[in-house]
Structure 1
Amino acid sequence: MGRSRVKIRLLGEPREEADTCLRGLLSQGFAADRKSLLPHDIATVAKSDILVVTGQFRPDFHTPANLSRLLGARRERTILFLSNVNPQYYTAFEQAGFLFINVTTDETVRSLAGLIAEVDPHVVYDASKTAAMRASMSDKIAHEVVDLFNRLRADPAAPKLEESKRQQRVMSELIGKSPMSVWIELIQNYHDGTAQHCSLVSGYTLAFARVLGAGEAQTGRLFDAAFFHDVGKAMIPLEILDKTGPLDAAEWEIMKRHVIYSYDILSRDAHTSGEIARVARDHHEYLDGSGYPNGIAAGQIDDITRIITICDIFAALTEKRAYKPPKPFDEAYSILLSMAGTKLDPDLVRLFGKVAEESSGRGWSVASAA
């Protein structure tokens, strides 16, 4: 029977510092979460887990006596990773049985990983394997999507539906093994902007399908629509797709044609014509009729298109491009909220808040859609 995976339990406040540390650990492949430095949370921690007391050092609370009382025998697998500790406390902590203390000013995850290795080197080894697996899977997704668009640029034949099914399997496994925030970080390292965007939209759609309680067949329909929604961009000149500044009016008119190209390409095959082609054509339409290409309004926009539109906008806002940094997830979701009721379905935007929260890697209360 295999050894159960050791988790890193971050204990402490303030929340922002603990969350920053948590995101760093997750991105490096560690199994980690955050708890409060309180008896009821500490009691839930397995004996094999590693505790990390983090946050700003508080001399009135982080005393050797108080931490010894809270952690008991667990201090043998506890790391004190507090910022702004007065060096005069180091000896007292060591005398109290705390053997792993960050005594440097380096408060990066790399420094913390070094201390974790001192506690249990197998944990760092397992994390490195997990990170390598994620990177390999994300590379597989990237290479196949880039290859798809290269083939479409050379010959705009309708892509085979099997490509979407294969990508869904790999992407579902990757997201299943990684928090959304870690998966997004991997995808954002793509060098091809169109591959990055289509993969992000597909991933957000998978996550949204779970939130919506979609069954296997419906999830497959949503993924197919998301994965192929921008195939028409293969027909847009690269100098427009890769432009580092804003598009001018003429360039924007060319860019908008991608939805018509998508519809044309996907309509060439019976497996992608119909719903998949229609979503690709209509995913920039808005409830108030202000979208393109046909300016259709609420009653003419079906639910699957409304879902893909929300995922598409959120991906565009949160992805990293040469011409813009990614927007923070809470800011991106606030933009969706501002569009709810006029351009976007308010009920779907409200439900998408769970995806936005998971994607941030933090806990934050989402507001209600209008």
Structure 2
Amino acid sequence: MLGTTMQRNHSLSSDSLVQTSGMVDALISNVLENIRLQGAVFFAWRPSWPYATGVPNERYFRDLILPASDQVISYHVVIEGPCWATVEGEPPVRLDGGDIILFPHGDAYAISNQPRDPSDKDIEPARQFFTLMAAGELPLVIENGGGGPGQNRLVCGFLGCDRYPWNPLLDGLPRYILLSRSALEGPVNDLIDIVLRECGHPWAGSRSVMRRLGELLFIEVIRQYCQNEGLTNNPWMRGLADPLIAKCLSLLHGRMAETWTLEKLAGQLNCSRSILAERFSRVIGVPPMKYLSQWRLQVAARLLRERPDKILSIASSVGYESEMAFSRAFKRSMGVSPSAFRRSSQSAKIGENRD
């Protein structure tokens, strides 16, 4: 899936989306809550030219900063450009002052003053850097590069998230999202200003504040994407712009534990089973019942990580009538039983807290 560049485009707005704004807000909030964002690393970067820094695929450094997360998402706010970003296998893109670039799938990429592809040679330097940063042994402002007269200024954020077994919003995002600050609306610009002030005058608790700001910035970037580009490029967001599909999604998310059938859903929506099945599958990409099964397991995975409840209690809360049926479905999707998944998550969390 290719990257996307977002400029302000009000023609992408949908009357249907506006009419159901409360429902849409609840759905987006529900999906974002179930990726369990965790701020990991956040810092200001002032490289002088020439420079080229590669960030390998997140699997090479996730264990160093957030072992309890499924994936690391990274983004960069360009305060002073120009510079270049190159995602593995994609053409380089120019970044100017005010741009924000987000890498939602943890792909390898490089940031440099001239276009440069990421490389396997980036892996070890990146691991060394993240080891020191996670241990608090590096300052909040990193200055490096070739020492020339040219310079860039960026704010860099790395977040952990839970995206398995399935998150419909994240899975539908492109390999990168590039937003121009001139196109941004709402509090995102205020957050960037707060970040710059915090970097410029760090004091007690700054690292914790920066991590939380990083989480908020990510959410704001996703909101901006959803309100604009997401209406045409993201299957799940297209569903929210369709009144019938949006109401169906609202039922499946809001009453997840209910015993749903296609016939019951269609009855609640005052439409035929065939129309609902065809339209939902065409817009979202999977049938309604498969969507519900996948989302139940996504929520169950979060509950197993966060709560000490018995497996049967969690199974019931997401709509399974028996622990055995839930365990079979969970293992088929995740490759491990619910109890083994919980033990693994708790071990990773202990290691993360020790760091």
Q: Which category of TM-score, normalised to the shorter sequence, fits these structures?
A: under 0.3
Q: Higher strand proportion, which one?
A: 2
Structure of greater Rg: 1
Q: TM-score, normalised by structure 1?
A: 0.27
Q: Higher helix proportion, which one?
A: 1
Greater RCO (Cα-Cα under 8 Å, separation 6 or more): 2
